[in-house]
Structure 1
């Protein structure tokens, strides 16, 4: 336990400093790509792959690793390119997203770099495979592209996006109509998933692409004299975002007395022991791993009821 807590303490030193670590890799060509180290469990040379019937075409097979069977997704093919041809020299990055473990097939793995989220920017329009990018940055004067993994996984392994029957009742929907929720997420797919879910609950949505946009919007709201915690039912924010991450956004909100009472839920595909420590450190109210529409709806409904009860007290 002491070892685990030491690791938590080391990782949480980055919290509130708007920092991240990127694992750099290449696909078919010389373009550099990056993935947040928090998502990476292991990197290994491509093991023997077993082909199974009815696999998605971008899944090159399954691998038996550490007692488990994992799908191996060819990232080059998943982003519109040809599949990697020589698997004997390829590598697999084992990752965990939304409590699912899978491997990403890449041509080579370079190194880990420590960066500030302010150095990570939304992709410029017209950039190569911008359809699959969430951000870009530069390392040693070379462009690094950050792939929208959530979009790829949504295409390869579609998730349930609708709220189950019985989760929302008519009275709750009537109460929700006058309430507004701020959604902050750099992934187009994730932003649409959350928006559709909350629109089923009945709340009005404001959707922004990153923490910097959200903080500027909240400050404008406060400068107009609005009571931010009453204007908004809550903020649902991703953690990994260009310009400013969700941890730093939360810390900035908590440090501003005009908006410090805003209810904040961090909603992320990052999973693991580190998150609870980080959420507590920056002062978020709650944490939810993506993407669980019923649980997300219940959290918003709970917040509706809590605010209603507080108003009636």
Structure 2
């Protein structure tokens, strides 16, 4: 399975084309689930696990991969479907990198990788149970594929601390930007709430969008109503992977529009590693923030806004 993962060059060719690759898997049953291949380091048969005391109930143990200790999360249990019966299925782990950490997800088996367009990916339906753990759904071979909100899963296992000290904020800058707009674009409720907690104390008017298409429509609405976007909108912070239109395509469209060319766009994503520089440069983002580093977010947001205000 490791040979099926694309190279960095092949993956970055998808950037700005509103396309993605999904790794399909199951959790013991006929339902397909998926995560973005960008996040996957490798797929392998379940290795020997070492149990650790007092760990979260969905963490089955740790394994050692190339000198690194990696926690193994039972993904079926994490999305409230009950623990996976490792003896009944071809137990496999998907080793991933999210938010600058490496973890593995225990699944019942891996199917294949598919290349899709983000406009084929739809927001999930409302509901209880595992619906809360989905960022999107799609159809493949007349079957529903559920795309897991891994950020929510990880945040429940190891909650993030988003409380910053007052020293993290520049009082003189906050007086200058009070009431101006910042557009936050993310399909994850967890990510939006984390950003709100960091940016809220800055006094900015926070506007939210759940995907790139919704953000683009908001920008077009502001243009049509005569809003001075250069003056009133200080920044857009966008996720990379979202239904209907991803963050790369959103940034590409913004850079093509002469009325939006001066808007600061920051890519905020759980992707990390070798892809960041190529992605940011290709689509023309002004900066990159890894999820979730609240101190770095506060510092970078204020730095970029100060630069913008000083040049007005």
Measured against the shorter chain, the TM-score band is: over 0.9
Whether 1:49 aligns to 2:43 is no
- Any idea what SS the aligned residue of 2:193 has? helix
1:229-266 CA distance string (max 9 Å, x none): 22200000000000000000000011111212111000
1:76-126 CA distance string (max 9 Å, x none): 100012111225730000000011000000001000000000000001223
Whether the 8 Å contact between 1:227 and 1:259 is mirrored in structure 2 is: no
Q: Which runs of structure 1 show a deviation greater than 4 angstroms over 4 or more consecutive aligned residues?
A: none
Cα distance in 2 for residues equivalent to 1:295 and 1:86: 40
Whether the 8 Å contact between 1:8 and 1:277 is mirrored in structure 2 is: no
Give the equivalent residue in structure 2 for 1:14: 14
1:165 Cα deviation from its structure 2 partner:
4.2
Equivalent residues in 2 for 1:142-161, closer than 5 Å: 142-161=143-162
1:204-231 CA distance string (max 9 Å, x none): 1001100000001101111222232222
Whether 1:71 aligns to 2:88 is no
Whether the 8 Å contact between 1:227 and 1:258 is mirrored in structure 2 is: no
**Relative to structure 2, which stretch is displaced further, 258-267 or 299-308?**
299-308
Whether the 8 Å contact between 2:39 and 2:98 is mirrored in structure 1 is: yes
Give the equivalent residue in structure 2 for 1:89: 90
Give the equivalent residue in structure 2 for 1:174: 175
Whether the 8 Å contact between 2:235 and 2:305 is mirrored in structure 1 is: no
1:308 Cα deviation from its structure 2 partner:
2.8
1:306 Cα deviation from its structure 2 partner:
1.4
Task: Kindly tell me the number of residue pairs found equivalent between the two proteins.
Answer: 306
Whether the 8 Å contact between 2:185 and 2:212 is mirrored in structure 1 is: yes
Whether 1:233 aligns to 2:238 is no
1:7 Cα deviation from its structure 2 partner:
4.1
Give the equivalent residue in structure 2 for 1:31: 31
Listed as ranges, the gaps of 5+ residues in structure 1 are 1-5
Give the equivalent residue in structure 2 for 1:119: 120
Cα distance in 1 for residues equivalent to 2:90 and 2:160: 32
1:137 Cα deviation from its structure 2 partner:
0.2
Give the equivalent residue in structure 1 for 2:273: 272
Cα distance in 2 for residues equivalent to 1:49 and 1:7: 29
- Any idea what SS the aligned residue of 2:168 has? coil
Listed as ranges, the gaps of 5+ residues in structure 2 are 1-5
Cα distance in 2 for residues equivalent to 1:145 and 1:32: 6
Cα distance in 2 for residues equivalent to 1:135 and 1:161: 25
1:128 Cα deviation from its structure 2 partner:
5.7
1:202 Cα deviation from its structure 2 partner:
2.1
Cα distance in 2 for residues equivalent to 1:308 and 1:35: 39
1:164 Cα deviation from its structure 2 partner:
3.5
Cα distance in 2 for residues equivalent to 1:295 and 1:216: 29
Q: CA RMSD in A?
A: 1.5
Whether the 8 Å contact between 1:15 and 1:248 is mirrored in structure 2 is: yes
1:172-212 CA distance string (max 9 Å, x none): 33223222110000000001100111002221100110000
Whether 1:59 aligns to 2:38 is no
